[in-house]
A = this chain, B = another copy of it.
Amino acid sequence: MFVTHLECSRCGATYESEQLANLCRCGGPLLVRYDLEKIKANLTKGDLASRQPDLWRYRELLPVRESGNVVTMGEGMTPLIQLGKLGAELGLSNLYMKDEGLLPTGSFKARGAAVGVSRAKELGVETVAMPTNGNAGGAWSAYCARAGIESIIVMPTSAPAIHRTECAVVGAKLFLVGGLISDAGGIVGRAVKERGYFDVSTLKEPYRIEGKKTMGLEIAEQFGWKLPDVIVYPTGGGVGIIGIHKALKELQEIGWVGDKLPRLVAVQAEGCAPIVKAWREQKSESEFWPDARTVAFGLTVPKAIGDFIVLRGLYETEGCAVAVSDEDILKAVKTIAAKEGLFICPEGAATFCAAAQLANDGWIKPDEAVVLLNTGCGLKYTDALSFDIPILKPDDDLPEL
């Protein structure tokens, strides 16, 4: 393993990496640091060719010491799918979707859970606790079940019901709360303090980012190590965009990609857009968004603990932040399904709405390579859709079409 230490994303303080860690003393999230010079000397692009198509192919850039501690369900190397018809409609000739719905538990959260749970197992954790809007709870409870770690999950009652089932079926201790994820976070925070559970809330432990980072590594590899121009990411807690940015900078340091990074775009919903507001005001942190609500439930994060790291990534890459409406999101779910065959989640559909805005504004140029991240499969969000479907009797003939 090439991990050297943990480093605070806010104040730069360093910590030893072989002990369990949550936030820095200053309250900042910790980042995992590697001996990148040594990785550069020990790993070649060619080495990857013979490895399995999962995220563990990048093991030198991941924080697990012993391969026996890896908890895996085959996650990673999700497809990069060209959106030919939709690209033509937007006037974009290189529009792609990376489909994270094809991961275990049906969302991008599996990446963070696979790496986070593996490292928790390696460091001797017995019980984890977390608040969730749904997908993270589903992923962490599944990987914990596989690892033999107990999981305590607190989820808003308003989260899609399917998430309850996926947590409960793998044996998580699941609780619902009438409120937002911030209320769930309060309950978890008190329990962690009093009972010593390991807190795996977003960015409160350093290893989830490392899993999410593999989205960036895969995009780079899938583009033959020539990075795309723009990456568009639906941003709730922001770990995905933080992870992608971290990945690309690490690839620069080992000399595998060039100087120019893709412009990162954070997409939020109009009903909960604290990072968009902060970006418009060119601030370094966001403010708590009151009365947050959107059909893209995973984006209902009124104040992300890592907001300043997300914003730093947008500024550093000359990216931007875009808010889109629920109406446009729901329309996009159907358009993307009908045109490209991809039934994706509302959060993923939001990236398409953002790309449409940015192409229309000229911020994205027609021949730029653009990657939209779909963070989850549409099957988890069928409650948001309804259709009238005719019923026949066995002896009926099909009506005229």
Q: Does A174 contact B (CB under 8 A)?
A: yes
Mask: chain A, 388-401; 1 = CB below 8 Å from B; 0 = not: 01111110111001
Q: Is B385 within 8 A of A164, CB to CB?
A: no
Residues of B within 8 A of A340 (CB): 145-146
Residues of B within 8 A of A103 (CB): 102
Q: Is B341 within 8 A of A166, CB to CB?
A: no
A349 and B270 CA atoms in complex are apart in Å by 42
Q: Is A169 within 8 A of B337, CB to CB?
A: yes
Q: Does A39 contact B (CB under 8 A)?
A: no
Residues of B within 8 A of A396 (CB): 177, 187
Residues of B within 8 A of A170 (CB): 337-338, 341, 343
If A102-B104, A343-B166, A379-B166 touch, does A178 touch B393 (CB 8 Å cutoff)?
Answer: yes
A102 and B72 CA atoms in complex are apart in Å by 14
Q: Does A120 contact B (CB under 8 A)?
A: no
Chain B residue at minimal CB-CB distance from A129: B398
Residues of B within 8 A of A50 (CB): 49
Residues of B within 8 A of A175 (CB): 389-392, 398
If A169-B338, A333-B169 touch, does A391 touch B152 (CB 8 Å cutoff)?
Answer: no
Q: Does A23 contact B (CB under 8 A)?
A: no
Q: Does A191 contact B (CB under 8 A)?
A: yes
- Distance of A370 from chain B, by nearest CB (Å): 17
Q: Does A53 contact B (CB under 8 A)?
A: yes
- Distance of A385 from chain B, by nearest CB (Å): 6
- Distance of A16 from chain B, by nearest CB (Å): 30
Residues of B within 8 A of A104 (CB): 99, 102, 341-342
Residues of B within 8 A of A72 (CB): 81
Q: Is B145 within 8 A of A177, CB to CB?
A: no
Chain B residue at minimal CB-CB distance from A222: B52
Q: Does A119 contact B (CB under 8 A)?
A: no
Q: Is A162 within 8 A of B379, CB to CB?
A: yes
Q: Is A78 within 8 A of B74, CB to CB?
A: yes
A103 and B54 CA atoms in complex are apart in Å by 14
A245 and B295 CA atoms in complex are apart in Å by 45
Q: Is B154 within 8 A of A392, CB to CB?
A: yes
Residues of B within 8 A of A164 (CB): 387, 389
Residues of B within 8 A of A162 (CB): 379, 382
Q: Does A90 contact B (CB under 8 A)?
A: no
Residues of B within 8 A of A77 (CB): 53
If A177-B394, A391-B157, A394-B183 touch, does A169 touch B334 (CB 8 Å cutoff)?
Answer: yes
A397 and B71 CA atoms in complex are apart in Å by 31
Q: Is B397 within 8 A of A73, CB to CB?
A: no
Q: Is B338 within 8 A of A178, CB to CB?
A: no
Q: Is B339 within 8 A of A177, CB to CB?
A: no
The 6 A-B residue pairs whose C-beta atoms are closest, nearest first, are A74-B79, A146-B341, A53-B53, A168-B387, A183-B394, A171-B338
15 sample A-B contacts, Cβ–Cβ < 8 Å, listed by A number: A53-B53, A53-B77, A74-B81, A106-B377, A142-B343, A145-B341, A146-B341, A154-B392, A169-B337, A169-B378, A170-B338, A170-B343, A177-B391, A186-B394, A379-B380
Residues of A within 8 A of B (CB): 49-50, 53-54, 71-75, 77-81, 99, 102-106, 142-147, 152, 154, 157, 161-162, 164-166, 168-171, 173-179, 183, 186-188, 190-191, 194-195, 333-334, 337-343, 377-380, 382, 385, 387, 389-394, 396-398, 401
- List 18 additional contacts besides A161-B382, A166-B379, A169-B333; criterion CB under 8 Å: A73-B81, A74-B102, A106-B379, A142-B343, A143-B341, A145-B337, A145-B339, A152-B398, A152-B401, A169-B334, A169-B378, A170-B337, A170-B338, A174-B387, A175-B389, A187-B397, A379-B379, A379-B380
